[in-house]
Amino acid sequence: MGNVLVFGGSGQLGQCLQRVSQDRNLTNIIFLPEEQANILDVQVLEAAFAQHQPAYCINCAAYTAVDKAEDELELARRINKEGVENLGRLCGKHGTTLIHISTDFVFAGTGNQPLVETDETAPISVYGLTKLEGEQVIPAHTAQYFILRTSWLYSEYANNFVKTMLRFGRERDEMRVIWDQLGTPTYAIDLAGCILTIIESANKAYGVYHYSNEGVTSWYDFAVAIFELGGLPTRTVPIRTAEYPTKATRPAYSVMDKTKAKTQLQIAIPHWRESLRECISRLAQQQPA
């Protein structure tokens, strides 16, 4: 299947890709050290492509600080748009297939039906806008790309909602959590598996795809499940979005339809609660006795 270059390999999804690739005994996946993986440094990128001649490039690098982005538009745009364009240009030049990770934040989230890939995009935050701009610059440079939009990413690695709730659950008797934002959590290990399956199968059904776990939930119900599966007695209180103001506006409904991914990529997608149980079990095994 040729060499695979991973950018953003030290982040949450990158660490999950490392674990899943080890589980599958995939040895030609190259996780570049940080100094060789800055997607804004064209010379560094050109050297990496020239050295490794990748068949695939996985872009996990992104500006993801959703609220901070409201004050850092230019920086978010440089990373989420210009950096992606740099990779797209090199992928086109070298005949490399690009696998790029995007987000449910490209949608306004004002509907009440699961979103398909062709639904109108209308981001309501700087983060969502710059991620959409990143999607839009790719087709001008290469036709060999997979854009995977995902949502509510968590895992045993890095900082995420599940680990935060488990920590708070051990420290507090009560948590107030938003109940009027609906979406679907995504276990980053499952997403990593999807990415590697695309590569291993040499799938050429290029285009935009939605990938999250199955099912629908609110942040409140997600938190309740985390405390339950984590064996924590924390009382969870549902609150409205208006009671927890943030600088960036979030989509109220961002449930994504995964029919296209399941049929064209030939992947099975577990329910979010099943994957959450696995993640919490793995986290428990990491806890000191």
Catalytic annotation present for 56: no
The residue assigned the tokens 């984590």 is 230
Of the residues 127, 145, 157, 220, which is catalytic?
Answer: 127
CA 168 from centre of chain: 23
DSSP state letter for 253: B
**H or E element: which one contains 160?**
none
**Amino acid identity, residue 178?**
I
Q: In Å, how far are 13, 15, 232, 282 from 287, measured between CA atoms?
A: 21, 19, 15, 9
CB-CB contact of 77 with 40 (8 Å): no
What is the pairing mode between strands 4-7 and 29-31?
parallel
The residues assigned a catalytic role are 127
